[in-house]
Amino acid sequence: MIRHKRVTVSATMLSKRLHKALADDPGLLANKLHSRYVYESGVDVQRKVKHKIDRLLADYDDDLFRSLAFNKDTRELIDELISCRSDPGFASVVRRFLRGMSHLLDREILRARKVRKPANVARQVRKELAKLHIYHRTDSIKVKEKKQGLFEVDYISIRHSPEHDGKFKSWRDTQFKIELNFNNGLFVWKYINVHKDLRGKGMGTKLVKFCERLAKRLGIRRFTVEWPNRKFWIKMGYEIPRKYRIGKTGRKNYTHEGYKELR
């Protein structure tokens, strides 16, 4: 059992090894578990997972923690995290991550509601994105139904991405990736970036507000962003409680999400 009496700022600091195992590229264990269970799972699965997590919080067990894996990749990533158990901050980091998951599952179990999927979602999304202030006919717009009721949208402004080479590279192009989940009425910001030469001019703010209006027109009024840049997303009205944060600001940190609802 992991004994834990008090969480302090220093106790939740992410060492280099812990950060690599929990939240660093290319593994991103925290994001994988969070996306799978908080965003994409139905209420029955969420209740089962929350029960496991609450058992782990009461009495930690490696095998029970491993049971949160949903494929080979996540099993290996959980094993990598468990291998860090000798690190001084291991107990606090794992506990804080699991506690955040438990709170978020509580919210989704209570507030998630299926939204009627409009006809021709992909066509509607493409039509609306053509109204973006930066839109040009050369832009790349990909819309696909990942599974029934869950749509992925990937938009790249080619004119505002001078280094674009047809491949994805983090924090380079002017691009955003979102999910429209009609199964639980949730909009998820998976990724958003403005090219470095165009930052500080309000482009990111305009893109966020535009996409939120688009989601509202499609019937979705709950919004979330994974592992947010806290300063920007708090400015955009997203709540990021401290209980969803692990580590101080800087490179070695993880934040579950930012969240807001619109009327």
pLDDT score, position 9:
37
Q: Is residue 1 domain-resident?
A: no
d(CA 172, CA 70): 31
**Stretch 124-149: mean pLDDT:** 97
Q: Is 254 in the same domain as 127?
A: yes
Domain count, the chain: 2
User: Where do the H-state alpha helices sit in 112-260?
Assistant: 121-129, 203-217, 230-235
pLDDT of residue 250: 65
- Tally of CB atoms within 10 A around 42: 12
Out of 111, 133, 154, pick the residue that ends a domain.
111
Is 4 inside any structural domain? no
pLDDT tens track for 107-134:
999 999 999 999 999 999 999 999 999 9
Are 61 and 154 in a shared domain? no
Range of the domain at 25: 10-111
| 3-state DSSP assignment of residue 100 | helix
User: Do 131 and 82 belong together in one domain?
Assistant: no
pLDDT band, very low/low/confident/very high, at 4 (cuts 50, 70, 90): very low
**pLDDT for residue 6:** 38
Position 72 in a domain: yes
Task: State how beta strands 186-193 and 222-226 pair.
Answer: parallel
> Do 200 and 170 share a structural domain?
yes
| Strand ranges, E, within the chain | 140-147, 150-156, 175-181, 186-193, 222-226, 245-246, 254-255, 257-261
d(CA 223, CA 188): 6
Given 93, 111, 129, the domain boundary residue is: 111
Q: Which of 64, 86, 111 is the last residue of a domain?
A: 111
pLDDT given for residue 249 in this prediction: 57
Ramachandran area for residue 194 (φ above 0: left; ψ -120 to 50: alpha; else beta): beta
Residue 179 lies in a domain: yes
Separation CA 110–CA 102 (nearest Å): 12
